[in-house]
Amino acid sequence: MNGYLWQGFNYGGRYTDSMDRYCDMMATCLASPNGLSDYRIACNDRMLDRYDVDGMYIDDNLAYVCTLQAEHAHPEAAYDCLIELHEMNWKRRQSLRARRPHAVLIDHCARATVQPVICDFDAHLYGEGYTFPSLEAYWAQYGAFKGMDAQGCLWPGGKDLDRSATEVAYNYDLLGGGGQYMYIDWRLYPEKFAYAAGVAKDEVPILRAYNWAQYGFGMYESTPHYFAESADLFATDAPGRRATIYRNETWGDHLVVLANMNAEAEDVALTFRSPGRLGLQPGGTYAVLDVNAGECRRESGDELLRRGLAGGRVPGRGLKLFHLRRLPDDGPRHLWGGKRIAERRDASAGVLTLELQGPPGSEQTVIVAAGAEPNVEVRVDGAPAPFRLDPSRRTIHGAVRFGPAPVRVEVSTAGRDPLPEAPIPPGGPPRR
């Protein structure tokens, strides 16, 4: 050996960050035959033995090309360390399995998203939030492998101007399977931390709107029909306008994501090509709810399948969510607000009983498709609740506060008077 055993080479060899004054790191090649990886694992073991660690984030789990061929005795001049990176990740996984089996192991992946590099992780942070050049590029690099059975994560923007803005990050998330949006706590305090500059004031309402929508629809029990793989099922009408449709396998509801990837606001519409394969049926009546606006209308199944879904104006790099539920008879049915855990209708007693769950402490508008009987009474956990009738949208709705256990909502025809009237309040993120 005529040189050094190891040398940092990424980021010019040294990485510091103004956000964290303790961050002063060297990056190097773990393929270096010098015991560095064993030393790192021994440090991990010691940390796990001494502290109550419940997860680890591994930055830059990237198969970079090592430039120190002679010093590291690499077989090729440009050596990508795939085998050694896998070995290191596997050893770390074994260390966690032995000492802290419940701990979550997450990496930042971007380069070589292949099994040897990323298979040892529970979750992947896609590209650390750097703006994907296009939706198609995002799908080609991250979306299509669907996390390889791990959880995919997206970041919104940070101190770097080239990271995704919050709203367009939700386009990637909701067009690409949902549940990937990940948050960093300092973003909640843009006035306290200088590096959170650029975090929009309406970020919390946006997060709440899109996270609650996914929670309430039940993404975990749904089948996605992705924009990139569904040309035979449905179509949007122009480049940059994309849709993904989720079908809830428990309830048969659909959530349609209509996204505009273009910079300016545009009208986005969708036509169905094989509605039967999406689980949409002709005949009958569908309640169609524009989740963001709180607009609800009824359409016959025949009309819906023939005309498709006209989404109206969608903001530049924004999206709209439409919830579709087929109404099986003229009784009331839950549409939106909270996660529907159970729904029972006793037609002879004139009672619809719902069990709904929401994040504890949250308050959401619960929307129910009104039945044929106009005089109803609504009780929440047994107590009369001030629900309102929106006659033009044929819905009843009211604010419900959620706690640790599911809330029981009863809609009965025991009411002697019609409910007071009021329009559904908008439920989506603030308009920009």
- Which residue from 2, 133, 110 is spatially nearest to 59, judged by alpha carbons? 110
* Piece of 24-32, 355-363, 381-389, 392-400 that binds Zn ion (CB under 5 A): 24-32
Parallel, antiparallel or unpaired: strands 295-300 and 285-290: antiparallel
Contacts of residues 89-92 at CB distance under 8 Å and 24 or more positions apart, as own/partner, are: 89/58, 89/61, 89/117, 89/119, 89/120, 89/121, 90/120, 91/37, 91/41, 92/41, 92/44, 92/56, 92/58, 92/120
Q: Which is nearer to Zn ion, 30 or 310 (CB)?
A: 30
* Piece of 66-74, 109-117, 228-236, 409-417 that binds Zn ion (CB under 5 A): 66-74
Site residue total, Zn ion (CB under 5 A): 5
The answer to whether residue 154 forms part of the interface with Zn ion (CB under 5 A) is no
Q: State the nearest-atom distance from the C-beta of 26 to Zn ion, in Å.
A: 13
Cα–Cα distance, 136 to 2 (Å, whole number): 47
The answer to whether residue 380 forms part of the interface with Zn ion (CB under 5 A) is no
Q: State the nearest-atom distance from the C-beta of 356 to Zn ion, in Å.
A: 56
Burial 196-205 (b: 16+ CB within 10 A, else e): bebbbeebee
- Which residue from 315, 287, 296, 292 is spatially nearest to 427, judged by alpha carbons? 292
**Number of Cβ atoms within 10 Å of the Cβ of 21:** 8
* Piece of 65-73, 203-211, 239-247, 278-286 that binds Zn ion (CB under 5 A): 65-73
Give the residue, chosen from 62, 66, 385, 396, that forms a contact with Zn ion under the rule CB under 5 A. Answer: 66
CA 304 to chain centre: 27
The interaxial angle of helices 36-50 and 82-99, nearest 10 deg, is 20
Structure tokens at 114: 């292949």
* Piece of 21-29, 109-117, 129-137, 335-343 that binds Zn ion (CB under 5 A): 21-29
Q: Which is nearer to Zn ion, 13 or 284 (CB)?
A: 13
Cα–Cα distance, 380 to 400 (Å, whole number): 8
Q: Which is nearer to Zn ion, 66 or 256 (CB)?
A: 66
The answer to whether residue 85 forms part of the interface with Zn ion (CB under 5 A) is no
Cα–Cα distance, 255 to 270 (Å, whole number): 13
Give the residue, chosen from 62, 72, 242, 339, that forms a contact with Zn ion under the rule CB under 5 A. Answer: 72
Could you give the angle at the alpha carbon of 189 between the alpha carbons of 184 and 190, nearest 5°?
A: 100
Q: Which is nearer to Zn ion, 73 or 194 (CB)?
A: 73
Q: State the nearest-atom distance from the C-beta of 79 to Zn ion, in Å.
A: 6
The answer to whether residue 62 forms part of the interface with Zn ion (CB under 5 A) is no
* Piece of 58-66, 226-234, 294-302, 404-412 that binds Zn ion (CB under 5 A): 58-66
Cα–Cα distance, 54 to 101 (Å, whole number): 9
- Sign of the Cα torsion 353, 390, 424, 177 reads positive
Residue that has been written with the tokens 């290191």 in this structure: 88
* Piece of 29-37, 214-222, 328-336, 419-427 that binds Zn ion (CB under 5 A): 29-37
The answer to whether residue 31 forms part of the interface with Zn ion (CB under 5 A) is yes
Q: Which is nearer to Zn ion, 30 or 265 (CB)?
A: 30
Q: Which is nearer to Zn ion, 32 or 260 (CB)?
A: 32
Q: State the nearest-atom distance from the C-beta of 10 to Zn ion, in Å.
A: 11
Q: Which is nearer to Zn ion, 31 or 196 (CB)?
A: 31
Q: State the nearest-atom distance from the C-beta of 73 to Zn ion, in Å.
A: 9
Q: Which is nearer to Zn ion, 68 or 154 (CB)?
A: 68
Q: Which residues bind Zn ion (CB under 5 A)?
A: 29, 31, 66, 68, 72
